[in-house]
């Protein structure tokens, strides 16, 4: 028997054993949402700003990112800004916003900055008036870099805040739609 035939036989046997042992069950797509079945409309009112987060439009960027992510991945959920008429409400507060210099260039100027944003997020079922999700210290970090060439200067702070807002929204909506960490009291 040739090496080719032995290899083909071994691969076929491995594929058969893999499918028989049940590993194929691990890769089923998620079709259920972590939210109760009666929730079809989610209100995302404008996030609030805490005293330590005074930065232009930070709360607006995070609110917009959450709304866009629910629309993109919410599996048919409707989104609105007002609480009235919604089945659930996502309430958020940007509690803290900090920028730290983390790397200096050869001249002692800060070259890389780290952004750290801490938020409080609560998702409430308005029909049953119970909290579905609560995290009062939802923390996100990101970084951005200043160029060393003043001729090609571009302030990266705003795009970095937008990136962190999107990452925050992706994580939050993933938590809600996949049901990880969602309190289930029936």
When pLDDT is averaged across residues 83-112 and rounded to a whole number, the result is 86
Residue 27's pLDDT is 40
CA-based R_g, the chain, Å: 23
Q: How far is CA 139 from each of CA 52, 54, 76, 90, 182, rounded to the nearest angstrom? A: 14, 16, 28, 17, 18
Looking only at the bridges linking them, the beta strands covering 110-125 and 130-145 are antiparallel
Interatomic CA distance for residues 163 and 141, integer angstroms:
10
Average pLDDT over residues 58-78: 90
Residue 3, pLDDT score: 65
Question: How many Å apart are CA 126 and CA 45, to the nearest integer?
Answer: 14
77 or 146: which carries more pLDDT confidence?
77
Report the DSSP beta bridge partners of residue 144. Answer: 113
Structure tokens at 120: 């409080």
Question: 106-164, pLDDT tens digit by residue?
Answer: 777 777 888 888 999 999 999 999 999 999 998 888 877 766 666 655 567 778 888 88
Mean pLDDT of the region 83-97:
93
Q: Where is average pLDDT lowest: 3-7, 76-80, 116-120?
A: 3-7
- Please, what is the average pLDDT of the chain? 78
Q: What is the pLDDT at residue 170?
A: 92
CATH number of 3-178: 3.30.160.150
Which of 9-18, 48-57, 123-132 has the weakest average pLDDT? Answer: 9-18
- Domain residue spans in the chain? 3-178
Q: What is the mean pLDDT of residues 71-87?
A: 90
Angle at 48 between CA 44 and CA 51, to 5 degrees: 165
């Amino acid at each position: 028997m040739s090496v080719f035939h032995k290899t083909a036989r071994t691969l076929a046997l491995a594929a058969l054993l893999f499918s028989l042992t049940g590993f194929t069950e691990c890769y089923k797509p998620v079709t259920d949402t972590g939210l109760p079945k009666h929730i079809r409309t989610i209100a995302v009112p404008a996030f609030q700003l805490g005293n330590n987060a005074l930065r232009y439009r930070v709360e607006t960027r995070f609110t917009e990112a959450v709304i866009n992510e629910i629309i993109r991945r919410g599996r048919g959920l409707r989104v609105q800004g007002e609480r009235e008429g919604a089945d659930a409400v996502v309430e958020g507060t940007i509690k803290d916003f900090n920028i730290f210099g983390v790397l200096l260039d050869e001249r002692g100027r800060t070259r890389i900055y780290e952004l750290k944003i801490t938020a409080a997020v609560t998702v409430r079922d308005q029909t049953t008036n119970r909290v579905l999700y609560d995290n009062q210290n939802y923390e996100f970090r990101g970084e951005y870099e200043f160029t060393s060439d003043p001729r090609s200067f571009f302030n990266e702070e705003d795009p970095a805040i937008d990136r962190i807002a999107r990452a925050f929204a992706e994580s939050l909506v993933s938590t809600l739609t996949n049901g990880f960490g969602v309190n289930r009291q029936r």
